Amino acid sequence: QVQLVQSGSELKTPGASVKVSCKASGYSFTTYAMNWVRQAPGQGLEWMGWINTKTGKPTYAQDFTGRFVLSLDSSVSTAYLQISSLKAEDTAVYYCARTFFQASGSSSTSYMDVWGKGATVTVSS
Amino acid sequence: QSALTQPASVSGSPGQSITISCTGPNSDVGGYKFLSWHQQQPGKAPKVIIYDVSNRPSGVSNRFSGSRSGNTASLTISGLQAEDEADYYCSSYTSTSSTWVFGGGTKLTVL
């Protein structure tokens, strides 16, 4: 079945970097884009950006430029989120979510249809 | 600050119906059909329950329905059940910037 398996919890000190992975299975990886979504403790969902899995081109939300990098390794059907210069406020659960897209004639549909279980990143000294 | 505005909380008793609104600028909710709703139960990942304003993915209960009027989308849950207690998020795509946005989320309490 279609699933996204994310890497495990990480505990990092301020200033360090972290790389979270999201391995896709059950479908052709390059067919659908991959999104990353942040959820800080007790807070709502924040869309961070998405990466075109055909071209590797990322698009970032305004609040997630600079320290955040989205990348791919299509040979292992895996998307990555790297965060550098970690701050305490980066403590959150990070989800990957596939964007389903389908076009038919003049109509199209798109939505995040499959989500990973989330990877917890804790930044603390 | 989200470009999509949702009420922070709603509540209802078992068997009742509730509606959650999602209001955005014309270029978001009003102009695009990529409006979806996601349910997030406590401690779990979000799950899509409505896409393209009013379509339900396979396996989602028909107690969930969606609609849109102008630049406000709505999620209605009928026949409330205890298991519906969760956070609900609307999401929309903005083609001008090729970005997605989530609403702030609405906590549903089943009394």
Between CA A78 and CA B15 the distance in angstroms is 43
Find the length of chain B.
111
What residues form DSSP beta bridges with A76?
none
The radius of gyration computed from the CA coordinates of chain B, to the nearest angstrom, equals: 13
Tokens, residue B57: 């993915």
**pLDDT tens, chain B, 111 aa long:** 568 999 999 999 999 999 999 998 765 555 555 899 999 999 999 999 999 999 999 999 999 999 998 889 999 999 999 999 999 999 998 877 888 999 999 999 999
Tens-place pLDDT, residues A7-33: 999 999 999 999 999 999 999 999 999
Mean pLDDT by 10-residue block, N- to C-terminus, for chain A (125 residues)?
96 98 97 97 97 96 95 97 97 97 86 97 96
**Residue among A110, A111, A117 whose CB faces B45 most closely:** A117
What is the count of residue pairs from A and B with beta carbons less than 8 Å apart? Answer: 60
Residue A79 C-beta-side C-alpha neighbours within 13 Å: 35
The answer to whether the beta carbons of residues A72 and A80 sit under 8 Å apart is yes
Are the beta carbons of B48 and A113 separated by less than 8 Å? yes
What residues form DSSP beta bridges with A62?
none
